[in-house]
Structure 1
Amino acid sequence: MAINLTKGQRIDLRKSNGATLTNFCVGVNWGAIESKSLWGLSKKVQDVDLDLSCILLNANGDPCDHMYSPLYRVDVLQKFGLPAGKLITADGAMRHSGDDRAGDQGGDDGLDNEIITVDLSKISAEVTQIFFFLNNAGQEDFSQIPYAKIRMYEGTTTHVKEEFASYNVSAEAQFAGKKAIIMGKLYKKDTEWKFNAIGDPTDDTFLGQTIHRIMKSYK
């Protein structure tokens, strides 16, 4: 049975049969914003363009790799001291499915909009923490987005074999003005990988701000 995570919860990557979760997907699913006219005769759908990204840190807390959209402007990234975006880590252990610029329309379709596949057996030995976060490329904030969920599961980008854990961030008033969410992190304790559901919304308007925030307050 999948684990329904709560904010701040930490878990081992061990399945019910005692086996360690090594090859899995980290997927994020979110909904487009839907509204009805005054008399409910028509429906307006507003696309939501969220970007799932991750930053990988070494034992000293320094960034040693990254994975975020190649569509981010290089000149803007350089202002934050960041390299160009890419969809695969240097060691080949993590791959990103690419941008989804709309979100689910017509309700939750049960599929993830953006997915990162992970093979922990191939992760570079210097990596000790991997932070996953969402940034909104649009104007709306997370109080308007109907839902955003992160989950870990065994399978592929098109097929869920078995869900291991999930963390659901529902639209709430406290998210007003918040345009990014630090979703969670994988971290290595001794030789074993664990997961921490962070779920902190921020008012960052650009990915570079979120990465700097992680480096300052979360590592």
Structure 2
Amino acid sequence: MSVNLTKGQKISLDKEAGSTLTRVVMGLGWDAVKTKGFLGFGSKGADVDLDASCVLFDESNKPLDVVWFRQLKSRDGSVSHSGDNRTGAGDGDDEQISVNLQDVPPNVKAIVFTVNSFTGQSFAQVENAYCRLMNADGGKEVARFNLSVQGQHNAQLMAKLYRHNGEWKMHAIGENGAGRTFDELLPQITQHL
């Protein structure tokens, strides 16, 4: 059973999964908003390129590494990105970031996931946007966070995985932001570390 997360909620991943999680996948999905054609006939959807990214931080809140469409794997190999989907076309997750929690180096304190509209549209032009966290070993959805809060922002801090007393936890940040790439969000991200 999945937990529908609300903005600011924190959960223990192990407790929600019912066992120790070793590998998780953060999935991102969306659809472009359809607009009516001439005189209401037909519809057209503008392509929206949302990008999932994650930044790995150390104890002093310094970024150690990033995984995004221009770097599909962390230097240590513990985090990988499925690749860039530029339209949101198709069912299910449009982009995925996989994290092997057992291989994340001990100096990594937190992993923060972001979504940016690389093409610049606001989320008011995006439908059915969500992120979800799954147990990669069994495919079970552990948590889901609805991102389709319509608004004029074009970026969002999705969630943070972090170590607490030797256990991985998740904090659903759900905070609106501005920027076409993760690096424009770094000042805002550090407020959540």
TM norm structure 1? 0.82
Q: Deviations over 1:64-100 (max 9, x none)?
A: 1111221xxxxxxxxxxxxxxx111122111100100
Q: How far, CA to CA, are the matches of 2:189 and 2:48 in structure 1?
A: 24
1:168 paired residue number: 146
- Deviating more after overlay: 139-148 vs 15-24: 15-24
State whether structure 2 residue 172 is matched by structure 1 residue 187: no
- Deviating more after overlay: 116-125 vs 20-29: 20-29
Q: How far, CA to CA, are the matches of 1:170 and 1:91 in structure 2?
A: 33
State whether structure 2 residue 128 is matched by structure 1 residue 154: no
Q: How far, CA to CA, are the matches of 2:116 and 2:31 in structure 1?
A: 14
Structure 1, unaligned runs of 5 or more: 71-85
Q: How far, CA to CA, are the matches of 1:90 and 1:188 in structure 2?
A: 20
Structure 2, unaligned runs of 5 or more: none
State whether structure 2 residue 37 is matched by structure 1 residue 45: no
8 Å contact 2:178–2:184 — kept in the other structure? no
1:87 counterpart (47, 57, 72): 72
Q: How far, CA to CA, are the matches of 2:181 and 2:24 in structure 1?
A: 28
1:68 paired residue number: 68
- Deviating more after overlay: 30-39 vs 142-151: 30-39
Residues 92-107 of structure 1 aligned to structure 2 (within 5 Å): 92-104=77-89
Q: How has the CA–CA distance of structure 1 residues 20 and 95 changed in structure 2, closer, same or farther, with 3 Å as cutoff?
A: same
Q: How far, CA to CA, are the matches of 2:121 and 2:45 in structure 1?
A: 13
Q: How has the CA–CA distance of structure 1 residues 18 and 162 changed in structure 2, closer, same or farther, with 3 Å as cutoff?
A: closer
Q: How far, CA to CA, are the matches of 2:122 and 2:13 in structure 1?
A: 32
The percent identity for this pair of structures is 36
Q: How far, CA to CA, are the matches of 2:44 and 2:17 in structure 1?
A: 46
Which 4+ runs in 1 deviate beyond 4 A?
none
Displacement of 1:15:
4.8
2:99 paired residue number: 118
SS at match of 2:176: strand
8 Å contact 1:15–1:21 — kept in the other structure? no
TM norm structure 2? 0.92
